[in-house]
Amino acid sequence: MALREAVIGLIQLEASPSKSVSLERLRGLAGRVREATIIAMPEYAMLDPTDTPLERLRSEAESVEEPGPWLREAERLASEHSACVVATFFEPAPDGRVYNSAAVIRPSGGVAGVYRKTHLFDAYGYRESAKIAPGESVFEPVDACGVRLGLAICFEIRVPELARAQALAGAELIVYPAAWYSGPLKEETLHTLARARAHENTVYVAVAALAGPRFTGRSTLVDPLGVQVAEAGPWPGYVEAPLEPWRLERARSVLPILQLLRLDLPGLGVRR
């Protein structure tokens, strides 16, 4: 499909250790939605797992087959605003851990696609895999409210192969729900990587980032030539920005990288 005029809304939530508190914060920020046709929430929006025992994560986890209050609220948000919602949540995994998941929910309430984070944040002294089980497949881009939408989660913005595979599969926008832990150079790193993934694939990149004492915030939208066109700042908040077809068309005209790729060469690691 070809990108139609669309508006993305990025919810920059400060998550709580309590799902019910996070839910109230989500509702408050969702009240600022005006024109968005795609609404994205951050990774860990349901609750901050940093100091949360695994047993608690399991008890609060939901699934698209058996939605609880969190996913029902995402469905309500999609219906109320006639928008597609990228909803993040914890989902029970068979091995006793949980999946770090995201679902694309259509205005009708149907689920366009579900992604389980495949590359876990076992870095900078943090071990996400202690509580999170990895997914086993790359997200297949879906048609979502006028946009061919791709999806990866937080740490995976450091994995260019995921973005490349989805761009080759037709993605026009890649959404990264993120809980980007704060620290030296972390904000600069997040924005550098977002601009790189956008430019090298000529796609829009949207980062919906978690706010709060542990996290950077700084949600952003980057256009297909790597130009930052919106940012939410460091605090809880909400930002909307247009996805403009002319930017995508212009970028792919002057920089036809997806056509110039020599995927016949051995060792590239990406195939059509």
The tokens of 30 are what? 């969702």
CATH number of 6-260: 3.60.110.10
**Residues in the chain, total:** 272
Tell whether pTM > 0.95. yes
CA distances (Å), origin 87, targets 58, 59, 140, 194: 18, 19, 16, 20
CA distances (Å), origin 108, targets 12, 80, 125, 193: 24, 10, 42, 34
Are the beta carbons of 73 and 27 closer than 8 angstroms? yes
The tokens of 170 are what? 């037709």
The CA distance from 16 to 212, in Å, is: 9
What's the N-to-C CA distance of the chain in angstroms? 17
Q: pLDDT digit of tens for each residue in the chain (272 aa)?
A: 578 889 999 999 999 999 999 999 999 999 999 999 999 999 999 999 999 999 999 999 999 999 999 999 999 999 999 999 999 999 999 999 999 999 999 999 899 999 999 999 999 999 999 999 999 999 999 999 999 999 999 999 999 999 999 999 999 999 999 999 999 999 999 999 999 999 999 999 999 999 999 999 999 999 999 999 999 999 999 999 999 999 999 999 999 999 999 988 887 755 54
Q: Render 142-162 in DSSP notation, one character per residue.
A: EEETTEEEEE--GGGGG-HHH
Cα R_g (the chain), whole angstroms: 17
The CA distance from 117 to 166, in Å, is: 15
The CA distance from 141 to 137, in Å, is: 12
pLDDT attached to residue 272: 46
Sequence spans of domains, the chain: 6-260
